[in-house]
Amino acid sequence: MNKTLSLVRHAQSPFGAGLSDIDRQLSDAGLDDAKALGTYMCSKNYHPDLVLCSSAERTKQTFQKICSADDALEVEYAKAIYSAGKRDLLNFINETDDRIEHLMIIGHNPAIYEIAASLIGDGAERLLHKLTQGFMPATLCVIETDIESWKDVAPGKNRIIDLVNPMDYNSSDRPTRWM
């Protein structure tokens, strides 16, 4: 039996504007990327049974835009994901109800990237290489496991099956926004 784990870094959120970090909102580009990510996920038939989402405003907005393409997604907001490290995220995964077949976590760097990098043991060479480049905002990493219970998810034992960022699913023919 396989379980699927999707890891998402929140979409683009500018610093400043006099808001505390937890209250930062997505930029217009971030809102657009998150919506495009939801469309991409639907096109690939990625439908998580449960989404664990940081309680930060930018992660909630990312979920809401992703969800607009798939309004059946179930979400649990967790303040602990906001300040979670790699080990904390692994604990969230290991404590997931085994009835959940596809779990998604929407969180923050560096932890979301670090947990992805630590869990993956194999996969397509181009995806493994791309993983070494880090997680830009609105990156999605999909990991397949060979487990029956989430408590058995372990570092280095899983396959990366997809890794995309806005350059892959939301760039124009001339992506000047990144120049």
Is pLDDT at 174 greater than 80 in this prediction? no
Contact, 79 vs 128, CB < 8 A? no
Are the CB atoms for 152 and 2 separated by under 8 Å? no
The tens digit of pLDDT for each residue in 55-106 reads 999 999 999 999 876 667 789 999 999 999 999 999 999 999 999 999 999 9
**Six token digits for residue 48:** 């998580």
Neighbours of 125 (CB within 10 A): 8
DSSP for 39-78, written as a single string? HHHHHTT---SEEEEESSHHHHHHHHHHHTT-TT--EEEE
Residue type, 106: I
> What is 4-14+22-178's CATH topology?
Rossmann fold (3.40.50)
- The reported pLDDT for the residue numbered 1 is 67
The tens digit of pLDDT for each residue in 117-172 reads 999 999 999 999 999 999 999 999 999 999 999 999 999 999 999 999 999 999 87
SS3 103: strand
Q: Structural domain boundaries of the chain?
A: 4-14+22-178
